[in-house]
Amino acid sequence: MEENTQIQDMYDLLGISPEVRELGEQTEHRLKERFDGFDRTAEYNQLKVIHAMQENRVSEGCFQYASGYGYNDQGRDTLEEVYASVFHTEAALVRPQITCGTHALYLALSANLRPGDELLSPVGKPYDTLEEVIGIRPSRGSLAEYGVSYRQVELLEDGYFDYPAIEQALHEKTKMVTIQRSKGYQTRPSYSVEKIGELIAFIKERRPDVICMVDNCYGEFVERIEPGDVGADLVVGSLIKNPGGGLAPIGGYIAGKRELIENCACRLTSPGLGREVGASLGVMQSFYQGLFLAPDVVCGALKGAVFAANIYERLGYQVIPDGRESRHDIIQAVTLGSPEGVIAFCKGIQAAAPVDSYVTPEPWAMPGYDSDVIMAAGAFVQGSSIELSADGPIKPPYAVYFQGGLTWHHAKLGILESLQSLIDAGVVGIEKVRALIRSS
C-alpha cells in the first residue's frame, strides 16, 4: 500500500489526477496477457540480434573512431553484415551519411530506377514526404525530373490490396514497386509482414523482374519476421526509429539483394567508390548498442501503443489499430475530430518528456507536408520517433499519431499526460472518466 501511495505521489507531482491514474491502472491490468505476448516476441528478436552479432564476430575494435575516406572501416563493414543477418538479406548499407528515412527511400529509388522506368505503389498514396521525392508534388531533383514515371493503385474500402487493379497496372515499364508497411498520416491498416509477402508473391508471379521495395519504417522488431523473409528485394528504414534503439544519433539502412545494395552505395557516395568510402565518425558503438537494445525498446513502444488504443477507445474515439488487433508497427492513430483535440493531445505528450517538457508545441508549416503539422517530441535525439512522440497534420479528420517510448513506463506516463491535457482543455469531461472507472 505504501508503495502505491508513493507512486500516486509522483503522479501528483507530474500533474496526473487520481481519476486519470486509476483509469490507466485498470487498463494496464486488462492488458497483462497482451503484454506477455509482446515480451515473448521481444525475447525472440533479442536472441536473433545477439546471434547475428556473434555470428559476424562483433568485437571491441568495431567501436573505434574512423575518419576521412573510411577505407576498411571495420565497425561499419561488420555492422552491415550484422544487419544483413538480422534482416535475412544478401547485403546491407547502414550509414550515418543516410540522414533520415526519407533519404534512405530516395536513395533506394534513385539508385535503382532509370529514365523511362515506372514506379508503382500498389498500396495507394505514399507518405507525405515521398510526394516530393517522387514528383507527385513538383520539387527540385524529384524522380519525375529524371524521367521516372509514377502510378498508384488505390486500396479497397477495407484498406487492403486491390489485386485485379494491381495486375492491370503492371506492364513493361514497371521497374519497381514500393510497399509502405506503416499507415503514415492515413487511417488505413498497417500491413503485417505476412500480408506484404502475399502481395510480393502476387507481383513476382506476374513480373519476376520487378524490384519489390518495402518501406519498413516503424515496423522493425514488431513481429518475429521481417520483409526480407518474405521475398522483399529491398528493405528500407531509419536508425532514429526502431532499429536504432534510441541511441543512434542519425542514420538509415537499406538491406536487400547484393546488386541493388551496390547500386545504392554508388548513389550514396560516387560511381567507382561505392561502399568502400564513408567513415563512421565515432557513432559505431551507438549503432551497435542501439540495435542490441532495439527489441526491448520496441516492446515498450508496443505496450504504449496498445495502452493508448484501449484508453481512447473506451473514451469513444476511433483508434487505428483498435485495442484488440494484432500489431504490425508502433504507430497508434487516434481520431480526435478537432484541431483543439490534436493540439491538446500533443501538449500532453510534450509535458511528459524528459527534455523540453516546458515547451509548448504549436502547429507550423513543416517542410515536405501540405498542411500545418504539430509535433511533440522532447527527445534526446532530435526527431527520433522511437522516443516518445506524437504528431499530426492540422486537417480533417484531425487524427493524431502517437509512437515510441524508450521504456514502457515513460510511454504510459505520456498517454496519461495526453488524457490529462485533453481534460484540462475541456475536450474530454472528467465525469466521463469517472463513469468509465465506476463501470469497470
Region 396-420: what's the mean pLDDT?
96
Is residue 376 over pLDDT 80? yes
* The predicted structure's pLDDT at residue 297: 98
Same domain for 287 and 333, yes or no, is no
Model confidence pLDDT, tens digit, residues 258-285: 999 999 999 999 999 999 999 999 999 9
N residues, the chain: 440
Is residue 368 over pLDDT 80? no
The DSSP secondary structure of 325-346, one letter per residue, reads SPPSSS-EEEE-SSHHHHHHHH
Percent of the chain with pLDDT over 70: 99
Rounded Cα distance, 45 and 225, in Å: 9
Region 47-59: what's the mean pLDDT?
98
Is 202 part of a structural domain of the chain?
yes
Question: How do beta strands 174-180 and 118-121 pair?
Answer: parallel
- Burial label, 337 (beta-carbon count in 10 A; 0-12, 13-18, 19+): middle
Instruction: Give the structural domain span for 213.
Output: 64-291
* The predicted structure's pLDDT at residue 5: 86
Residue tagged 483508434 (cell numbers): 319
Is 55 part of a structural domain of the chain?
no
Is 57 part of a structural domain of the chain?
no
* The predicted structure's pLDDT at residue 431: 95
Same domain for 152 and 171, yes or no, is yes
Count of domains forming the chain:
2
**CATH label of the domain that carries residue 172:** 3.40.640.10
Is 51 part of a structural domain of the chain?
no
Same domain for 284 and 311, yes or no, is no
Region 360-378: what's the mean pLDDT?
87
Same domain for 328 and 238, yes or no, is no
**Which of 69-78, 123-132, 180-189, 297-306 bottoms out in mean pLDDT, i.e. has the lowest?**
180-189
Is 94 part of a structural domain of the chain?
yes
Same domain for 333 and 401, yes or no, is yes
Percent of the chain with pLDDT over 90: 94
Is residue 103 over pLDDT 90? yes
Is 59 part of a structural domain of the chain?
no
Is 52 part of a structural domain of the chain?
no
364 has which bridge partners? 373
Region 86-107: what's the mean pLDDT?
98
Burial 286-297 (b: 16+ CB within 10 A, else e): bbbbbbbbbbbb
236 has which bridge partners? 215, 254
* The predicted structure's pLDDT at residue 58: 98
Is residue 9 over pLDDT 80? yes
* The predicted structure's pLDDT at residue 1: 58
Region 217-228: what's the mean pLDDT?
98
